[in-house]
Amino acid sequence: MVELILRATEYSKREAILSNGNVYSYADLLHRSAQIASKLLNGATDLEGNRIAFIVDPSFEYVATQWGIWRAGGVAVPLCTKHPLASLEYVIDDTQAQALIYSKNYASFIEPLLTKTKGIDQATIQNSQGVFPEIDLQSNAMILYTSGTTGKPKGVVTTHQNIQAQIIMLVDAWGWSSEDKILNVLPLHHVHGIINVVSCALWSGASCRFQPKFDEAEIFSVFQSGSINLFMAVPTIYYKLINYWKAQPQQAQEKISNALNQFRLMVSGSAALPISTLEEWRTISGQTLLERYGMTEMGMAISNPYKGERVPGSIGFPLKGMQVRLVNEEGALVESGAPGEIQVQGPNVFKEYWEKPEATKDAFVKGWFKTGDIAIQSEGRYRILGRNSVDIIKSGGHKISALEIEEIIRKNPIIKDCGVVGIPDQEWGEIVVAGLVLDQGIKSLPETFEPWLKELLPNFQWPRRYLLLDDLPRNVMGKVTKKELQKQFQSI
């Protein structure tokens, strides 16, 4: 049994999860995950690394499903509940998933996928048999998909040892204890929600409460109940909460602020936190948001201190057990204060990109993982300057591949060419925008274009603005100059 699940036996009577109005103990979680493991094994002794996809809302059942897959010796492949069917089909095909576990909310939606893999209705999983395989920490545990500059999502493979290292780093750095209670409002196909919130809480014997949908009034109501002392979110969520607070009468504002002031820790991540948002939240809550830096490929690597000064605009210092360096384009170390690409080593760094040996090889140099993020360092403290590629857009906590969106847009017969970029936005960090070159004779976008595109892309990838162009800006080699395209949008 992996350490995360083994530790649950020590906390069996404690409250583990609040979900859909119900309270579940660690014993409940162990029992339900055993039922799911038994169903998956179906008389076999070990899944031996077979991939099991699942589409379940953030909840007690989500965690039990993930643990059940692990206990049976499988590799968990969580699917994004907001992705279009085509995106899920890609993941099913790419991982050659042996089975797809689904909750009733998604039964009709995923039905077309059941021609490719065995479907398991979560509600039918009832019985449990006791013997499960021993799990090697070096074995594959999870595959999460992240968009890269190739345009095709890549499956990031982490082992049980990688995940355990990620958890231990954060439990130590952020002072987790069994008395902690955290509210999760994040999707659970990202490291942020899976590791930073849920897994750290359950490793520590703490309690995790799931919010069924994002609603500012409900979130503040939970905060005011006094039942939560930790919160982690993306900058966009803090932005929305700030605006809600501003719209309340003074007495309500004071009650909210008094409740927020009692929290032990609040963290912001998955995208750059605007300093204005940090300062407004500090004014409202008395909390200085802790900024940190991580990726799907490594969990977290750098963090502002839990105890100590948190500098706005800074991501802080390397976590215990991490090696971090900055290098220039020639691969040489840069001096303090000079920009360089962040490269990392540590036990938390992923194993490989699923069945993409060349992409895996290209991601490392002499054992160092190349993050693609540019930063400067002074007195050990790091500050992010941006990506070394304009083809990755960070919006609302999501990393979005511009090339992937371009591939979809170009499938429309009226599109001659297109360029997708991100431009700064106070609420989202960046928003997706698209420069379009229409086929000859077409002067404007038909009303059918956006509905067509929205059928093929998840909502966070939808372009928010369009610019119709005679041609895309290009350099002398014919390559699209995306920085110039960004300028065109910003000059409108």
- Residue-level pLDDT at 153: 87
Question: How far is it, in rounded angstroms, from Cα 406 to Cα 304?
Answer: 36
Q: What is the distance between the alpha carbons of residues 307 and 339, in angstroms, rounded to a whole number?
A: 27
pLDDT above 70 for 416: yes
**The tokens 């069924």 sit on which residue?**
212
Query: For the segment 311-366, what is each residue's pLDDT rounded down to a tens digit?
Result: 998 999 999 999 999 999 899 999 999 989 999 999 999 999 999 999 999 999 99
Reported as a single tens digit per residue, the pLDDT across 45-100 is 999 999 999 999 999 999 999 999 999 999 999 999 988 999 999 999 999 999 99
Structural domains for the chain: 392-490 (3.30.300.30)
For residue 434, pLDDT over 70 is answered with yes
Q: Are 399 and 460 in contact (CB under 8 A)?
A: no
Residue 296: alpha-carbon gap to chain centroid: 7
Cα 358 to Cα 147, 287, 352, 363, 379, distances in angstroms: 16, 44, 10, 9, 36
- For 88, the 3-state DSSP assignment is helix
Q: What percent of the chain has pLDDT over 90?
A: 83
Model confidence at 139: pLDDT above 70: yes
Tell whether the model's pLDDT for residue 254 goes beyond 60: yes
Q: What is the pTM of this model?
A: 0.86
Q: Which of 247, 244, 187, 193 is nearest to 220 (CA)?
A: 244
